[in-house]
Structure 1
């Protein structure tokens, strides 16, 4: 593989600088209170330079958050395929909550959730995008559960998918508004178990 030219290295450095400074400003002052102009002034670059790398300030968050996709792919490969669908979902959520707690952190997640509630995000928000890797994995497990008779047949697939996704977002939101005594991993497991039990078949033929 050819090494990067000095110009390419400079471009990568500029992009990383914009990314880091944007996230720092969002965390300190709030997503809705920071403009592209403020970001570029802090980085001593032009607005045109910013838009070369990011179509909007929302895309700064999106780019950072996309790192989660590679993590979910790794988790999926390590989940025992012999587990029931509900156990696969619980395992996936446990690993996700550990990652959010220990790697992503509350500051970035608060920024993501704040951005989701502003009118500055016009496209489908990343939090609910069906293209997210975690939702694709979840949908595979849900389809398995319905096919294998673990989940109730009178529930629409889309209904189960939406409910399980909301379970995740609700717990993350609670984590963000509580102090450190709120254990995201423990609370997610408790809540998800109750929710999944309500979707399971009460009896098998």
Structure 2
């Protein structure tokens, strides 16, 4: 469906199923000799699934883009970007205007470090993981947060004391699944998977057996 000119990292369907939006990186390199190679020069594209035509939505050559999503009304895109600090951006498809959203909350980092943001199916909340505290050795402890998009207020909804990442809402349900890495900051990850209520009051571990 894509032209193969760049590295496609993520994709998201429009609510009507007629379009596929995707992130494409123009290069895969490292800007520092001590850094690993990573995709950069990102932009957003759209594939018309009927005509199979490709349209470039942004012209940013952005250093970083991730967590692409489409709002439930299909009128805007949400994505995370980095420009000196983490940003959560909403871009209106009709006129290309952008709105940056900065969560307000009790974070242990100086500025929000928005990791793996995900939009709720009603478009009213965004969940993400961020630094809640540090352990005795100074390692960041990430927990799950839920932000009200109207007030920008984010509340901590997990308390695992481990590395919580990749929160994802169940479709049209007031609950989500999170990944907990008990081996974070070690050479061997140790993953658990938990279903939690959207307010964080209930949680249940689920077993996923991988072959």
Structure 2-normalised TM-score? 0.27
Name whichever structure is richer in helix by fraction.
Answer: 1
Q: Pick the structure with greater CA Rg.
A: 1
With structure 1 as the length reference, what TM-score do the two structures score?
Answer: 0.27
